[in-house]
Amino acid sequence: MFKGITRRWLINTFGVVLAIIVLLVVALSFAVHSYCYGTLERALIERDTELSAIFPDYTSESTESFETAALAYASDFAYKDKMEVDIINAAGRVIITSTGYSSGEDEEIPDFSEAVVSETSVGKYTGKLKSGESVMALTHAVKNYNGTAVGAVRYIVSLREANFRVFIYTLIGAVVGLIIISAVAVSGFYFIRSIVKPVSMMSDTSKQIAQGDFNARVEKMYDDEIGDLCDSINDMAHELDSNEKLKNDFISRVSHELRTPLTAIKGWAETMQYGVPDRITLEKGMSVIVKESGRLTSLVEELLDFSKLQSGRLTMQMEKMDILAEVDEAVYMLRERALSESKHLLYDEPERMPVIFGDKNRLKQVILNILDNALKYTPEGGMIGVQVYRDFVDDTVKIIVADNGCGINPEDLPKVKDKFYKANQKINGSGIGLAVADEIISLHKGTLDIESSLEVGTTVTISLPIYHEGDEDGIEEGII
């Protein structure tokens, strides 16, 4: 029952509060005890000072004269309702009390013995009488000029009322302490429960999510940090569920993408295997095989790059390079395809462009991917324009690929660079090309921005920083 957070709270918080309350009750009891006993002691000392008037210089020539004066003092004692006065002879026996009754002869008077030998002639005692009553006593020995005690006066006050007060105040302190401890316990257990229960629920839900149940959700009970954590877990489960669906769609899509070229290659290969077709059919078949093989190779390379990207093993061979050469080659490679698909690929190559620092193969891969997407989503008769220029504002080289194709839905636009995401399910593609391209540009400290409107077209802008002497410092060829 008491484990984990509850156990730590009991030890660290409740234990400290309990110890403080106990110390406060003990301190209160000690303070009341000291106050009550101190008050009684001061009262006894005040009465003791009266002896200077009854026995001048605290001396007497004989026992008889002492007893006579002491008996008169005891009989006329004005504080009989508050304390008792005993007159003790030289032998240490009580001869009379202010109450009119003599105490027992066997009663021990340790404060008398102390007073007789004390230089101040005063002795004190706190304890119990033979009767069992708790008392505080002060005895003042009266000595003659030889220093011999001729008797003593003893003041006695009962401790019953003082002890009762100490008990009552201690009891009140203990009750108040118990109330405080109970309040702390109740509020503490409620507080701990408000943490332990949601944490337990989150733990159970997290286990369900870990086992693949992405529909599991945590009930939000409080609008605080715990509630925020519940929202985070629920959001995580939602994202995992979405990613799982995207992953399944991706696997299904990639399977289809792989099956289509393989089916075409296998079909034409079997056609040629079981008979030598005419030249036209042979050329058509070989063209399909080459085209679908290239498509298959491109898809496999995308998958390999994505795998390297996920594991952090995507390699970059960084060097000073001419970006125009790579853009020109990419456009040249896809110009024939554009013509065969009745699409216009326009590119006005500038005379020169500043040097950049990057991996020319990876950057050409990105440009080819962007051009390939533009061709895919542009209808027959459509236009794709490529522009390269230097932006003096942010000191970058910008590569812009714009088309007048179908465009991207505004809801899909923020997600098109996410892994596995594919906005248009009707067009062939794996859905990871833009994710890989965006990461490659990011590794070059550049940006890849996409603007699009439905039925208007899409514009992709690649920004790459211009090379300056020393930019390669701290960047090594190899894995980035």
For every residue of 376-389, DSSP letters joined together read HTS-TT-EEEEEEE
H-run or E-run covering 208? helix 160-210
Can you give the pLDDT at residue 323? Answer: 93
Integer Cα distance of 386 and 383 in angstroms: 10
Name residue, tokens 């230089």.
Answer: 119
Give the DSSP H/E element, type plus range, for residue 294. helix 279-311
Residue type, 242: S
Residue 60 has a pLDDT of 52
Residue 458 host element (H or E): strand 457-465
At 431 the pLDDT is 64
Judging by DSSP bridges, how do beta strands 315-316 and 344-347 pair with one another?
A: unpaired
- pLDDT (0 to 100) of residue 106: 66
Whole-Å CA distances, 152 to 51, 64, 65, 118: 10, 13, 13, 13
Q: At residue 264, what is the residue type? A: A
Which residues are within 8 A (CB) of 425 and not within 5 positions of it... i.e. 6 or more apart? none
Check residue 73 and give its pLDDT.
Answer: 82
- Nearest in space to 33 (alpha carbons), one of 129, 133, 126, 164: 164
pLDDT score for 274: 75
Contacts of 417 (CB under 8 A, 6+ apart): 434, 435, 438, 448, 450
Contact 380, 340 (CB under 8 A): no
Confidence (pLDDT) at 389: 94
Q: Report the candidate in 230, 82, 89 with the shortest Cα–Cα distance to residue 159.
A: 82
The predicted pLDDT at position 126 comes to 93
pLDDT for position 460: 95
pLDDT (tens digit, 0 to 9) for every residue of the chain, 480 residues total?
456 667 777 777 778 888 888 999 999 999 999 999 999 999 998 888 877 667 655 455 566 777 777 888 888 888 888 889 888 888 888 888 887 655 555 678 899 999 888 888 899 999 988 888 899 999 988 887 777 888 889 999 999 999 999 999 999 999 998 998 888 888 877 777 777 777 788 888 888 888 888 888 888 777 777 788 888 888 888 888 877 776 777 677 677 667 777 888 888 888 777 776 777 877 888 888 887 887 788 777 777 777 776 667 777 888 999 999 999 999 998 998 899 899 999 998 888 899 999 999 889 989 998 998 899 889 999 999 999 999 999 999 999 999 998 888 888 888 888 776 666 655 555 567 788 888 889 989 999 999 999 888 999 999 999 988 766 554 444 433
| CA-derived radius of gyration, the chain | 52
Cα(184)–Cα(181) distance, integer angstroms: 5
Q: What is the pLDDT of residue 477?
A: 43
Q: How many CB atoms lie within 10 A of CB 233?
A: 19
Query: Residue length, the chain?
Result: 480
Q: Residues near 60 by Cβ (< 8 Å), separated by ≥ 6?
A: 66, 69, 142, 143, 144, 150, 151
Task: Please report which helix (H) or strand (E) contains residue 112, including its range.
Answer: helix 110-117
Q: Which helix (H) or strand (E) holds 289?
A: helix 279-311
pTM assigned to the model: 0.49
**What pLDDT sits at residue 342?**
93
Q: Using N-to-C axis directions, what is the helix angle for 225-273 and 279-311, rounded to 10°?
A: 160
pLDDT at 295: 75
pLDDT of residue 251: 72
Q: What gap in Å lies between CA 218 and CA 237, rounded to an integer? A: 10
Stretch (H or E) spanning 177:
helix 160-210
Q: What tokens were used for 262?
A: 């393989």
